[in-house]
Structure 1
């Protein structure tokens, strides 16, 4: 294993190659473009194919067709492009096709701007397309996690026959860090006995989601919901930082979770017992991570690059037993450590004792 200095987007692309991805369909859009650029150069060397669709709608439907063969397939985009993929995302989930999708968030709404944002949280975690479906959503906070989570995303997609989303932001995608290039781990996965690859010598298989009767439609929905409940029970992931004796918590994912660690350390120096919970799975949201703190802490601050979206899930996880406040920036702006710490001191009326 070796370490190389690469952009976060390139770490995603290299991880896909190492994970055995053979097909990539996408359309370039800032700040995710380096994913397709890197794969265009390196995936063919690994026996794979990169095809630029005429747009995001075509690209996600190409992923649908390719995934029915059991081949590992991926697409990548940024916020406006992800919006265009929503019908396809719903179809992938209904057909139970394992596809890895990357959304490197940029500021919105509309065309917005090219700066980092987390304003796609609702769209990514609640289902941006039609129908009751869910995506497994992973939120890295550094380049090494972009690599590791992308590699694992392919295994999760195959394990549950479900699309998996890597939700990053423009800051993570463009930042350069050393990344350890790991080989694909050996994971026991269910057989792909559902693929359509020619039916000579066997019965025909169909991969469809259309229900001709309401009874069949309900049975399908119940089957999907049962799968989502199993995912919710087994795949909740989070990181805790200085939570053992914490009186207050901050909650942040991705870049905000990364900044949050420095805020915690500065708060401790200022005499505030602050801890951090960093959700790693945005869906399923790590409710289990909050359970021990419902009666233990005095308050929570969520740090987000949006108008306040994850805060709703935090309030539900904590059952509204303690006050939860939002510290946020929008439009591509990033909060500083001091800005967050001062906000915590203000909303909880805490005296910050600065070290000399």
Structure 2
């Protein structure tokens, strides 16, 4: 067993990517994720891999397009405004079916906002985030260890489905330090050979062409139908979530990332007051774990409480998953404010009232 080391979240992202055989990193500094790029700048050249600080986020994502097109594993990272600048490139990458990993360490917005942690990029990440009919898998780790483990999975999923994959954490996860263990992958995935890559003929009678341009409507529709079938496969195979204390719950909270960690403390506080709170923690934000609600719908007396570091975004997917079968409530803080366990408990007690 490997030893645990104490690392900052952003630096652990870089180390995990290197161990997942990331060959190229292109990025641009922006708080609170700059340490990802700084770590890669220090380590990648020493192992004969590529680090390049691009002149902008737009340049970085287009460099990712080029590197991914050759079939090598590549990654970029940024924070909220930077991801917005990358949006066009992400759509091109999805349209050209290129695998890559995109890190978003979320800060408060809109606009330049602030540098404190937030979860207000949920819509951007899960509802497209750019033009066209496309999705990308989005992972939401709640600890540095889970983030490290999901980096490897993200690269594997990207290669398996030929798709960009996002790992979305908040500024708190990027900046905190925790013990982390870099474990060998236990994945049993059989990844396809990259016969599509534009890396020379390699014995073929033709050059491979990387493209997302389809000028004929019939061809573009056919391509979108193909992408749709791929997204259906991802929804079928790649949903991840955690259930905690959801049997016979007075109320089930729904939260992801570091907010879910806070909710776990709320469960302990509630027990002291005789209230049984449960938790659904989505690990994949897309595809969203709708089945978690089917499994728990009969176990909650007062429905669900979505808790977010936003003005209310994931709560819409909670409502869609519940389909009106139970009430859905919301509690959120925004602008970099972090909800406390006591605040969440107060909201839960307001919902539960005296009629448990």
1:320 has 2:324 as partner: yes
User: What is the CA distance between 1:315 and its match in structure 2?
Assistant: 0.6
Structure 1 residues 30-49: aligned runs within 5 Å? 30-49=31-50
Deviation string 1:294-318 (CA, Å, 9 cap, x unpaired) is 3332211111011100000001111
User: What is the CA distance between 1:200 and its match in structure 2?
Assistant: 5.7
Please name the residue that 2:127 is paired with: 126
Please name the residue that 1:191 is paired with: 193
More displaced stretch, 224-233 vs 243-252: 243-252
> Number of paired residues?
352
User: What is the CA distance between 1:351 and its match in structure 2?
Assistant: 7.7
Pick closer, same or farther for the CA change 1:342–1:350 going to 2, 3 Å: farther
Please name the residue that 1:345 is paired with: 349
Does the CA-based 8 Å contact 1:31-1:104 persist in structure 2?
yes
Does the CA-based 8 Å contact 1:21-1:71 persist in structure 2?
yes
Deviation string 1:305-347 (CA, Å, 9 cap, x unpaired) is 1110000000111112111111110110101101100111112
Aligned with 1:6: secondary structure? strand
Deviation string 1:83-123 (CA, Å, 9 cap, x unpaired) is 00000000010111001000000000000001000000000
Does the CA-based 8 Å contact 2:246-2:299 persist in structure 1?
no
Does the CA-based 8 Å contact 1:345-1:351 persist in structure 2?
no
Aligned with 2:11: secondary structure? helix
Does the CA-based 8 Å contact 1:18-1:184 persist in structure 2?
no
CA distance in 2, matches of 1:34, 1:91: 27
* Structure 1 runs not aligned, ≥5 long: none
Does the CA-based 8 Å contact 1:17-1:46 persist in structure 2?
no
Please name the residue that 2:308 is paired with: 304
Please name the residue that 2:290 is paired with: 287
Aligned with 1:43: secondary structure? helix
1:201 has 2:203 as partner: yes
Aligned with 2:26: secondary structure? strand
After superposition, the CA RMSD in angstroms is 1.3
CA distance in 2, matches of 1:265, 1:216: 55
User: What is the CA distance between 1:204 and its match in structure 2?
Assistant: 1.8
Question: Which residue of the other structure, out of 243, 267, 271, is the alignment partner of 1:268?
Answer: 271
User: What is the CA distance between 1:147 and its match in structure 2?
Assistant: 0.6
Aligned with 2:173: secondary structure? helix
Does the CA-based 8 Å contact 1:306-1:328 persist in structure 2?
yes
User: What is the CA distance between 1:269 and its match in structure 2?
Assistant: 2.0
CA distance in 2, matches of 1:46, 1:5: 22
User: What is the CA distance between 1:212 and its match in structure 2?
Assistant: 2.4
Deviation string 1:234-271 (CA, Å, 9 cap, x unpaired) is 11110011112223100000011111111112212211
